[in-house]
Amino acid sequence: MSSTVLEVHNLRIEIPVAAGLLQPVRGISFGVDKGETLCIVGESGCGKSLTSLALMGLLPKAAVRSADRLEFRGRDLRGLGERQMSDIRGASMSMIFQEPMTSLNPAYTIGNQLEEAYLRHHRGKRAEARDRAIYLLEKVGISAAASRLKQYPHQLSGGLRQRVMIAMALMCGPELIIADEPTTALDVTIQAQILHLLADLQREFEMGMILITHDLGIVARVADKVAVMYAGKIVEEGPCERVFENPMHPYTQGLLRCIPVPGKTRRGEHLGSIPGLVPNLVGDIRGCMFRNRCPHAVDACLELGDTAVSLDGGHAYTCVRDVETIRASSSEPQPA
């Protein structure tokens, strides 16, 4: 039996700004089971980071979060105060950030910052925290772990720092780990290493994981489920292989066309990119958010509601086109 770790229904985030009410997240729903990896993909600015901060209770002060359901291990997070949320953060729900270079405090040693994460949630002794830190540093592939504890962040490379951040997130054995583009700031060669490491650790410790990334190649390899986000909404979701094999939403199709496939994509061939701009997220927007960039847009797109079209196996998408039309059009050669 798979037990649900996180259950989110109709999550919304609103930020009052000078131009009006910014709605960067507009009613999204998803769930994560124990030992499952959910990948959230989508263009820059579609609300992925805000979504993860909302789960952690770390949204900026101005942002207002609301949801019909927000349950973590069966516990409703909606009414929890800062104190109760801080008991959960770092203990059973951890987060890894996008910026390893600046996410560690320059004034304290790695050891100090790792141990602190453990000591916050355990009455344990310092020695216990130290052992745990060394164990995890070795786990994340850092050699000479014991001597690293005395080092300061500026003495480590970006890749090492992100490994330290991963170890820090694991200090208390969380059940859910949220990784927000953990490799964007790193060298390409190191990106794959870090993502594989995360995937391995997630499997070993049977954690639920939300992995936010731009890299669809990685998604294909590590995700159990995929949620495709566009302008604050999830436009398509489902088991990884179904979404990759049968992308239904024009945006997903566009994204998938952006990855080069060895053998299929010829050298020098023009890779598909999605023309156009993301709509302004201030105020209400009627109908489909993608219609101004969609190659298949019709008048009916203006009337599109929030209900998704469900296919079997948990695959769902939000588009006015029905399954047959989509299947028929995607077997035709794609417009360049």
Partner 1 sequence: MLAYTLKRSLVALMILIVVSALTFSLSHLATDPALTIAGENANQEDIEAIRKMYGFDRPVHVQYISWATRALAGDFGVSYHYREPVSDMIAGRIGTTMTLGCSAILFALIISIPLGTVAAIRPNSFIDRVALFFAVIGQALPTFWFALMMIIVLGVWWRWLPISGNTSWQHFVMPTIALGYYATPALMRLTRAGMIEVLASDYIRTARAKGLRPWKVLFKHALRNAIIPVVSLAAVWFGFMLGGSIVIETIFNLKGIGWLSYDALLRSDLPVVQAIVLIFASFYVVLTLVADLLNAYLDPRISVR
**Residue 104 interacts with partner 1 (CB under 8 A)?**
yes
What span, in angstroms and rounded, lies between the C-alpha atoms of 160 and 111? 14
**Residue 252 interacts with Mg ion (CB under 5 A)?**
no
Q: Which is nearer to ligand ATP, 49 or 183 (CB)?
A: 49
DSSP strand E in 130-254: where?
176-180, 208-212, 225-230, 233-239
Among residues 3, 44, 76, 102, the one that binds partner 1 under rule CB under 8 A: 102
> Do 129 and 160 meet the contact criterion of CB atoms below 8 Å apart?
no
Shortest distance (Å) from residue 192 CB to ligand ATP = 19
What span, in angstroms and rounded, lies between the C-alpha atoms of 258 and 20? 34
50 interacts with, out of partner 1, ligand ATP, Mg ion, none, CB within 5 to 8 A per kind: ligand ATP
Shortest distance (Å) from residue 148 CB to partner 1 = 15
**Residue 23 interacts with Mg ion (CB under 5 A)?**
no
For residues 44, 50, 52, 53, the Cα torsion angle rounded to the nearest 10 degrees is: 140
**Residue 58 interacts with partner 1 (CB under 8 A)?**
yes
> Do 316 and 238 meet the contact criterion of CB atoms below 8 Å apart?
yes
Q: Which of residues 76-95 bind partner 1 (CB under 8 A)?
A: 82, 86-91, 94-95
What span, in angstroms and rounded, lies between the C-alpha atoms of 30 and 197? 24
Q: Which of residues 10-49 bind ligand ATP (CB under 6 A)?
A: 15, 17, 22, 24, 44-49
Nearest to 306 by CA among 293, 323, 319: 319
Strands 64-66 and 4-17: antiparallel
Using the rule CB under 5 A, give the single segment among 41-49, 68-76, 165-173, 271-279 that binds Mg ion.
41-49
Q: Which is nearer to partner 1, 185 or 288 (CB)?
A: 185
Among residues 17, 68, 76, 105, the one that binds partner 1 under rule CB under 8 A: 105
Residues contributing to the site for Mg ion (CB under 5 A) = 49
